Amino acid sequence: MKILMMAAAILAGMPALPDLRTGAQVEDAVLSGRLDSVVPKLMARHDVGMWIVAGREYNEDPVLQTMLPATWPSARRTMILIFERKADGSVTRTAVSRYPVGDFARGWNPDEQPDQWARVGELVRAADPASIAVNISADFGLADGLSVALHRQLIAALGPDLASRLVSHDGLALGWLETRIPAEMVLYRQIMRAAHTIIPAGLSDAVITPGVTSTQDVVWWYREQIAAAGMDAWCQPSVSIQRKTQPTFAIGTMVVPQPQIIAPGDLLHVDFCAGALGLKTDTQQMAYVLKPGETEAPAGLREGLRAANKVQDALTSSFATGLSGNDILARARAKAEAQGLVPIIYTHPIGYHGHAAGTWIGAWDNQAGVPGLGEYQLNADTAWSIELAAVHKVPEWDGQSVRFMLEVDAFFDGETVNYIDGRQTELLLIPRDAR
């Protein structure tokens, strides 16, 4: 609660994201709260006595990277974090590292024990845990952060008896990465609002002059705005065009948009990836370039966007704790198809990473369910990029099939899905002539 109040106080009424120093203070406060609350619950849920997270400078375990102070862009030398679950359910955290790490206890004095891995062995033997979790996963890259070399060193340090207690599963790593606490959702609303301010500004006559401006001009305008806002572009934005006789996208295909000059009558789509304060956003919106005499988009295009909103509703109403991503996909597709819609669903978690930890709900090239990745179960207190499309035939374009692609970030509290900062329900309109 104290951390939530701190974040809320700092961000309340703030028209822009905080400066770097303030942002780092907020990130570190939130991290402390996450370590205090999330880790004990996960270790109890998975009945793990100890969790060891290890990585090296510039080759960090993805989990390790998220546990470092905000002022550390990378680990320093070899770093081993040890979480020990006590009999009363509390969890101690120790860093076996050359340098002190945030509010982890220092577990290694090189003057007393020069061998870092020998010190790890001493700590583990003293704790004598029944099970020792490490981050190794066949399906999820974000839960597969323990390198082969460090794994070998850990086994050697533990010896045969303790090494036999090593367990590897996805639960701790994915649970840590995917779980959002209330303080983070205060931040997320601010970050999402910043993204929702930049996107429509780029899809306007302030940036686009039809017949002159190219899609790449808009892409690089977005990159400059992301930098100016103090955000990071975790992927290159993209701007694509669909127009009569030029579909660009077809069912079952994903085409890398080629640079084009934007013209009246074009249906534009932007994919915008930006993050701040340690959290990522992933958003897609659509706009129409008005032709002479038009004051709104053709009815068929407006109906296509409404179809995409209906697919969103079919998906978000299918979320239920304990279901797999594949189960949710099947439920959502059945609901959408019962309404006569043609859905393509490729929704993913959002959080520390753009394509974050958690279950996959479809893939753009696989609507039958994703083996492995789609079998993980949905958990409460997780954030999502509701990413999908509806394919809709547009009468004004001679019945051409058009893909209406939307992506918006949301939070699942265990019961319902709520959009973090609203969703697009109307096409953005770009006048034919620049101001």
Is-above-0.85 flag for pTM? yes
3-state secondary structure 158-175: HHHHHHCCEEECCHHHHH
**pLDDT value of position 14:** 44
Residue 297 is encoded by which pair of tokens?
Answer: 């988009």
pLDDT value for 29: 94
Identify the three-state secondary structure at position 311. Answer: helix
Distance CA 169, CA 43 (A): 12
86-121 pLDDT tens trace: 999 999 999 999 999 999 999 999 999 999 999 999
Domains, the chain, in order of start with CATH, read: 2-176 (3.40.350.10), 182-430 (3.90.230.10)
Helix axes 182-202 and 2-11, enclosed angle (nearest 10): 30
CA distances from 393 to 245, 247, 252, 313, 402 (A): 13, 11, 16, 20, 6
Q: Which pLDDT score is estimated for 257?
A: 65
* Separation in Å, CA 240 to CA 27, 51, 203, 304: 35, 45, 12, 17
Residues contacting 19, CB < 8 A, separation 6+: 230
Single out the residue of 329, 406, 321, 338 nearest to residue 370, CA to CA: 329
pLDDT score of 248: 67
Please, where are the H alpha helices in 203-298? Answer: 215-228
Tokens of 367: 């609507």
- DSSP labels for 380-429? SSEEEEEEEEEEEEEGGGTTEEEEEEEEEEEEE-SS-EEESS----S-EE
Q: What is the pLDDT of residue 119?
A: 97
Q: How far apart are CA 252 and CA 231, in angstroms?
A: 33
What pLDDT sits at residue 17? 84
- What is the pLDDT, as a whole number, of residue 1? 47
Residues of the chain with pLDDT under 70: 1-16, 248-257, 433-435
Distance CA 365, CA 385 (A): 17
Q: Where are the beta strands (DSSP E) in 220-303?
A: 238-242, 267-276, 279-289
SS3 state at 265 = coil
Start-to-end Cα distance in the chain: 48
The per-residue pLDDT for 435 is 44
Burial annotation 183-196 (CB, 10 A radius, 16+ → b, else e): bbbbbbebbbbbbb
